[in-house]
Structure 1
């Protein structure tokens, strides 16, 4: 059998006109090294230089009649682009009107030569002279039943590669002596254990390091260490790239990571499990802006594996998929729902508790909880005073240097600018010339001071962006945490107080109610079984959803409202940004009639923004047309570049496209 003589290469470039496969002849000197999936360098005449890329496939035939350029070099002999990841990247990019190379950059870590040498040496030693140090990974252990869920439903889910929205059980559990994690993490670890026992790989994704640490601890309790691989940005480049290379050996493994873990190579994929898909950290900030949820849905359909979205509070996107029958709904049994108590802002009879903004019911719950163990108090903002205002005219206090808002980090610190950090020394109000400041609102530090005086004799722990606390002991203490930063308490919290409910809901945003329900549900789930959770200043359907612990009912009602108003995710949206004539021309050429258009709206730098709304069944046609328009606009932009113009001064792309963009709806 003759070796292939032509390599089809995807160029690693953000330019949309290069988002296709280029054919290159394989020179004789590279015939053995030029394999599908490896990194290469190739000449690109349009740029006049060598560029990097990946060999997607090898072939002996090509339609081009002229002489092909040759591969310049093979950067590494390790095939980093797996076939299933190329298929996923191509599909995801086409759905989002983006570039496949931009998607691959999310999933393929930067090359680290030392990691490649270490892995090659390890494989060579293990082949030539097997020893205990270089033995093969341990075999998967016996599968662990998935607690609180029907065994038949779980077996069907995994065996038949089904898709499900799973309501996570509440509470915490001790997986190893002294290590406590949320029950949701145990559920995901148990699912991974069953997948691994079948000889298949499981990919488990979490939004941040706090959740990931819990999941890693739970997986370690059920899975051999050599069968677990971690992939996330907090690792060193060498460690992450080394683990990435190991995923190519066929596994099976349990792969744990953040939003990019869903792109991990796994030809024998059996399960993808996503924890808390409503967290905004799953939204990719770089083009083509693909959400982890969407990538997981595409990959499940391509590789026919099981897919599970685990959460305490469903996102409206998952609720839509449940209602259209794309996801099955699974709920736990055999566990009591949390005890949630709505509370009005009734002033406590205790003077110090009143100063600390704690109403009577919350004060009583905290007092009783501290007799048994730690009490969690969730607040909305970090710092001491999140906002300062002029004491005379009540206008927001602004920095005299950059006009940014002023804040105060602690009781004794000098107020400073949130934007530039300048100290507000000799501050004077621009509106009334006043010189006195007053604090507006209470951050985590100020709440800690006030609660420390209201409950003297107890330890006060602050957990926020500046104080990263992931676990606390079972000793009585007050834990003041911002939303999403709540530590796990040994044995669970004996009471949970949610103080800033009304303030959190005051934000003007399409997702504000959905986000608040998710934040509150995750905090309440950390309580010990039977411990009370008091939410202050919140009523209506949100309070009902928490008291009955039926967040899916609220998600269903929220989705129904968005259908009526044609807001996402009931429909799809695309944001077009660029010069007025380019945006207008793009809207006119879209193959949807009638087209729901919002805008244009003038933005800085002489550009406009238009939002288009369309149904899901028009998504493919809209994405294809928008991609063609972006390529055309970029080509024109490059043709306008003057010779010798510095790269930083070259014209920016004339048209930018962002599908499923929620930013215009976040701050309504």
Structure 2
């Protein structure tokens, strides 16, 4: 037999997640090479599918004749050996398919962008002048040993300095960025000066803009490759082709940027790994932090996990010695004040101490007020019985967009005209919480003559000037202020902590810490109405200690991240079969490793968004095979990860094979509904 190509099919079916051998036609011998895209016939489906060539062999023994490749889609080798190893390893760890990982990493081919790239000259390395190296060394020197650790390819955890810095001398073009952005940019600059590439992964476009601004300010704009969903298809593909070039570069992007196939990788830096935007929602759901850890191990590059707070996941890695903690040479923290209503004082949303601090700060500059939710009245309750006001059509929550407006549903959008409480028949509602718009109205009346700025999802703002203003922002949407905020007031903290979430304490600490980091040096930060461990951690700026306490509390309960957790969902027979196969394959699992399975039912007979989704899925399962849906959780130690994920993946493949397309003339079988997701953050999915 002649030349044979081993290819990975770009198909979502789990049973196709392996390498297939295809014979290379003689006319394609010069075009087929490892990494190129090809078209391959899939005999079981009777159609052509896209595929990536992983390996080309001169001779392979086969018991039957092989199908021939149909065509070469592009001569560009877009799948590097390192990227394939990373995708394969990440998929195996998450019990998923490598093609799903590659679908996130490799953009679609754009012919015009590819032709323009082929006609353009080869990129060259960016020179690093002495002043750039001196600046980078000075920034990294704030954390003793960091520069040496990055050069040696170590894994480090860094607590960023919680302050901001102003870029640019021109008053009309000055930009305020976090000190953390300078830290990441300096690490990338030093890596680039050593002739190696850097990958900087941040949660969203606001963080990305800050890092890019620092790199541009220091003359590294030409070396930056942006990797995010805001770019058009041709721009993304052109950027991907730039990553494949031999010249080192700095990739700045969101979660999928962690797979950037740069040459001579020297650094992967991840900012704020606790942000949920870094958790991939698409299958197989690999968190950017886990992908970065795998990549560091495979490529031998440096890994820097930075943030204003420390997640329990990173703290666990520090505790076991897999990641080294590098504290700053000089401890710096905001001036946090725990504000509460004093005894004898009328109950107020903004206590007198915080109110006085805001009034004093407004004499010199802007004040930030963080709230939990956007809108005017995001939660309405019955004025008589205080039960939540629900839509009569879908049981969704009602909210008001402005004072005196007819409430409307947050799920279906219907106006609740003539609403009446089903429990007490009252037709009156009251506001149970205040959103950003209502808070702005209240503060505008309390501080007449002061401009009020709203910053939330409907009013995105990235920066405000240094003039006095009240900036009311939702968590995560706070704009920067030139010179920093003269005071920061954190409202609704008690409501935030009431969320039914295992990690709500970590999340609140991260929201508050990121907002406090926007304050000017010495400016007060008032946390209103919150006490306990999370409040003390913010006040003393000891976030790593809080993460350690969280780990200590979760360990006896076998809760993540002290153990890994996998969710198994599908019809009851499928889930039970997968669990039985798992126990047989991994006898080391403890007796309490499996929680469930439990039946998944619609939560409300009235329907609604969630119940319609779950109920519809259950209905299809019943119609197809007569079985209800069930779900189970599997808790297992990290040492058992390979065996557990392999067994769960085998169950998914077996279920898919049982439900594949039947032979002609035979009735279709039940649709495959077995789903596995590994490393779920908590047990409430």
Return the TM-score normalized by structure 1: 0.94
What is aligned with 1:661? Answer: 680
Alignment counterpart, residue 34 of structure 2, candidates 29, 33, 36: 36
Other structure's SS at 2:683 match? helix
Tell me if structure 2 keeps the 8 A contact 1:563–1:570: yes
Aligned ranges 1:505-524 → 2 under 5 Å: 505-524=497-516
Tell me if structure 1 keeps the 8 A contact 2:143–2:329: no
What is aligned with 1:602? Answer: 599
Aligned equivalents of 1:367, 1:161: Cα separation in 2 = 49
Aligned: 1:258 with 2:254: yes
Aligned equivalents of 1:201, 1:347: Cα separation in 2 = 58
Other structure's SS at 2:7 match? strand
Aligned equivalents of 2:461, 2:178: Cα separation in 1 = 15
Per-residue CA deviations over 1:10-62 (Å, capped at 9, x if unaligned) read 00011111001111111122222212111111001011100011111111132
Aligned: 1:592 with 2:587: yes
Aligned equivalents of 1:335, 1:266: Cα separation in 2 = 35
What is aligned with 1:612? Answer: 634
Greater CA deviation, 259-268 or 650-659? 650-659
What is aligned with 2:230? Answer: 234
Other structure's SS at 1:438 match? strand
What is aligned with 1:531? Answer: 523
Alignment counterpart, residue 356 of structure 2, candidates 345, 364, 374: 364
What is aligned with 1:117? Answer: 115
Aligned ranges 1:344-493 → 2 under 5 Å: 344-346=340-342, 357-411=349-403, 413-493=405-485
Q: 5+ residue gaps in structure 1?
A: 127-134
Aligned ranges 1:628-647 → 2 under 5 Å: 628-638=650-660, 643=665
Per-residue CA deviations over 1:485-512 (Å, capped at 9, x if unaligned) read 1101100000000011111001121001
Moved over 6 A (4+): none
Greater CA deviation, 281-290 or 651-660? 651-660
Tell me how far 1:554 sits from its aligned partner: 0.5
Other structure's SS at 1:638 match? coil
Tell me how far 1:152 sits from its aligned partner: 5.4
Tell me how far 1:176 sits from its aligned partner: 2.3
Tell me if structure 2 keeps the 8 A contact 1:148–1:169: no
Tell me how far 1:557 sits from its aligned partner: 0.4
Tell me if structure 2 keeps the 8 A contact 1:347–1:360: no
Per-residue CA deviations over 1:445-464 (Å, capped at 9, x if unaligned) read 00000011111111101111
Greater CA deviation, 592-601 or 113-122? 592-601
Per-residue CA deviations over 1:68-102 (Å, capped at 9, x if unaligned) read 11111111111111111100000011111110000
Tell me how far 1:643 sits from its aligned partner: 4.9
Aligned ranges 1:187-198 → 2 under 5 Å: 187-198=183-194
Tell me if structure 2 keeps the 8 A contact 1:347–1:359: no
Aligned equivalents of 1:630, 1:538: Cα separation in 2 = 45
Aligned ranges 1:17-28 → 2 under 5 Å: 17-28=15-26
Tell me how far 1:412 sits from its aligned partner: 5.4
What is aligned with 2:127? Answer: 139
What is aligned with 1:15? Answer: 13
Pick closer, same or farther for the CA change 1:493–1:348 going to 2, 3 Å: farther
What is aligned with 2:220? Answer: 224
What is aligned with 1:211? Answer: 207
What is aligned with 1:504? Answer: 496
Greater CA deviation, 618-627 or 55-64? 55-64
Counting matched residue pairs gives 647
What is aligned with 2:85? Answer: 87
Pick closer, same or farther for the CA change 1:18–1:615 going to 2, 3 Å: same
Pick closer, same or farther for the CA change 1:364–1:63 going to 2, 3 Å: farther
Tell me how far 1:147 sits from its aligned partner: 2.2
Per-residue CA deviations over 1:586-629 (Å, capped at 9, x if unaligned) read 22222133341111110141211111111110000111111111
Per-residue CA deviations over 1:225-284 (Å, capped at 9, x if unaligned) read 221100000111111111011100022111000000000002300000000000111111
Other structure's SS at 2:139 match? coil
Greater CA deviation, 338-347 or 488-497? 338-347
Tell me if structure 1 keeps the 8 A contact 2:144–2:329: no
Tell me if structure 1 keeps the 8 A contact 2:490–2:526: yes
Pick closer, same or farther for the CA change 1:489–1:311 going to 2, 3 Å: same
Per-residue CA deviations over 1:183-212 (Å, capped at 9, x if unaligned) read 110110011110000010000011111111
What is aligned with 2:671? Answer: 652
Tell me if structure 2 keeps the 8 A contact 1:160–1:306: yes
What is aligned with 1:57? Answer: 55
Aligned equivalents of 1:200, 1:568: Cα separation in 2 = 35
Aligned ranges 1:249-328 → 2 under 5 Å: 249-328=245-324
Aligned equivalents of 1:624, 1:386: Cα separation in 2 = 45
Aligned equivalents of 2:404, 2:29: Cα separation in 1 = 70
Aligned equivalents of 1:622, 1:91: Cα separation in 2 = 15
Tell me if structure 2 keeps the 8 A contact 1:171–1:526: yes
Aligned ranges 1:542-553 → 2 under 5 Å: 542-553=534-545
Aligned: 1:577 with 2:599: no
Aligned: 1:163 with 2:155: yes
Tell me if structure 2 keeps the 8 A contact 1:145–1:151: no
Pick closer, same or farther for the CA change 1:419–1:650 going to 2, 3 Å: farther
Aligned equivalents of 2:95, 2:255: Cα separation in 1 = 20
Pick closer, same or farther for the CA change 1:406–1:150 going to 2, 3 Å: closer
Tell me how far 1:539 sits from its aligned partner: 1.3
Return the TM-score normalized by structure 2: 0.91
What is aligned with 2:609? Answer: none
Other structure's SS at 1:274 match? strand
Tell me how far 1:433 sits from its aligned partner: 2.4
Tell me how far 1:345 sits from its aligned partner: 3.1
